[in-house]
Structure 1
């Protein structure tokens, strides 16, 4: 019973992050399932089955808040579903001994990317309003869908930063569109796992609890996306993913690191993680202060303009 409650909280927290950041539900949930000793393919299958419902709830919530660009959804979702089905069948064919470390490496790579991307650069906003073309979105969707299924997550960590980096879509629209399209990716990946694994290797009680937690969090996250600083959240989530997957790799048969080495690595990662969060907080506050100063200057300029126009012209 306790494990189910913990899973429900994991689903809630993961969807809260995913719905407000546009990533990390699958990566966070799969990471924790792997840490609990779940089979790699079964962990990814469990998460993707839950995501069918959570992403649908999240998509509806984002639609109600006007956070979706349906043209982007249409161009990225179908290639993403094809990639997800292929990735699920590929992962199902691997042995547990091979699959678990491979998945941890994928998740670790995504965690490093999330941490560096959001800590160092924040959210780009240039090129807003320019169209996103199919020749960019289709390959992106295919690749992100494949990694999502094989890594237990990756649709958001790959798709969201890639579209944000283009600077052509407002951040809340990027997050809402990625979340809305993920329902099709989760459905395709789940179909691939059911074909490759069958249903006997999946704990549907875990699926249900993860789903329940995610559905409760979805509308809250869609509202919070306008208020939570994504830069800080990205740094926090990236560090968590790195720390958890380093733990899995160090304890795997591939490495088998002794306890003192593991402790040293954990301390080093924790220090880097804390520094990254502190830096993100500082940069966020500095940017807010800069924006406030610019806003005040703009108001003062606007207030001075009528007075200048009323002054008599010198003779």
Structure 2
């Protein structure tokens, strides 16, 4: 078995554990690691969203079991997220990787700073009211597809900043993510099959993809339970530092 499988299984496990507990970071961490390994932005985003189909389903089932899901909010977030994800995938596959990568790295770095700000101030930016989940899902899905991560930082942060119950915000965001991942993955596949997106090296990522899926699926049930018991501020500091460090590493490699 390829050693990359075990490395990415560890990455997937850690990323999903934090994502399930905080409502963010699986895509940001996984995409950052793939970009650091030299994978193009479109390939990285496509791989991470394919993995999210499986890890998101496992995470969603765990949150449903622990009653962390608001069903009305789930439907509205998912609807907006699906549209935004498809649009983001189309934009990402229309632009050469070397052009878009600096912007993707900047976006991931920004997400890291936002997470650190949350840990420092113990607050979340109030961007949308909880009564406006459809446009929130649209924005979150678009940036998630563009950066390979961003659904959680945009959606969970905004919901909690608007006063939503933390457990419901995290659980519902994680459960909605599986619908966004399916739609975004389908958009990447359609772009590939229709010739809109011509990619190289995607097949070479199968071991990495398998590792991300395996690690994430194993961690998902633990993460659903962890939402109730883990010290979220400590985990927020940890993931923020990791994401900023990875973004800085990629920036050095670029410039």
Alpha-carbon distance in structure 2 between the residues aligned to 1:240 and 1:230: 15
Tell me the CA shift for residue 152 of structure 1.
Answer: 0.7
Corresponding position of 1:276 = none
Tell me the CA shift for residue 37 of structure 1.
Answer: 0.8
Corresponding position of 1:165 = 161
Please give the per-residue CA displacement for 1:82-111, whole angstroms capped at 9, x wherever unaligned.
000110111111112112211101111111
Tell me the CA shift for residue 123 of structure 1.
Answer: 6.7
The unaligned stretches of length 5 or more in structure 2 are: 194-198
Corresponding position of 2:209 = 207
Q: Please say if 1:18 is aligned against 2:19.
A: yes
Alpha-carbon distance in structure 1 between the residues aligned to 2:61 and 2:227: 14
Contact 2:4 2:207 in 1 (8 A): no
If you compute each CA radius of gyration, which structure gives the higher value, 1 or 2? 1
Residues 44-63 of structure 1: pairs in structure 2 closer than 5 A:
44-63=45-64
Corresponding position of 2:240 = 238
Q: Which runs of 4+ in 1 moved over 6 A?
A: none
The unaligned stretches of length 5 or more in structure 1 are: 125-130, 257-315
Paired residue for 2:225, among 216, 223, 226?
223
Please give the per-residue CA displacement for 1:127-154, whole angstroms capped at 9, x wherever unaligned.
xxxx932xx1111110110000001100
How does the TM-score come out when normalised to structure 2?
A: 0.91
Tell me the CA shift for residue 59 of structure 1.
Answer: 0.3
Corresponding position of 1:141 = 137
Corresponding position of 2:101 = 100
Over the aligned positions, Cα root-mean-square deviation in angstroms equals 1.6
Contact 1:122 1:231 in 2 (8 A): no
Corresponding position of 2:78 = 77
Tell me the CA shift for residue 197 of structure 1.
Answer: 3.6
Alpha-carbon distance in structure 2 between the residues aligned to 1:194 and 1:245: 27
Corresponding position of 2:130 = 132
Corresponding position of 1:248 = 250
Contact 1:39 1:100 in 2 (8 A): yes
Tell me the CA shift for residue 201 of structure 1.
Answer: 4.3
Alpha-carbon distance in structure 2 between the residues aligned to 1:30 and 1:205: 15
Using a 3 Å threshold, how does the CA distance of structure 1 residues 100 and 123 change in structure 2: closer, same or farther?
closer
Corresponding position of 1:112 = 113
Alpha-carbon distance in structure 1 between the residues aligned to 2:201 and 2:178: 22
The structure whose RCO (Cα within 8 Å, separation 6+) is larger is 2
Contact 1:41 1:99 in 2 (8 A): no
How does the TM-score come out when normalised to structure 1?
A: 0.74
Count residues in correspondence.
Answer: 244
Contact 1:93 1:196 in 2 (8 A): no
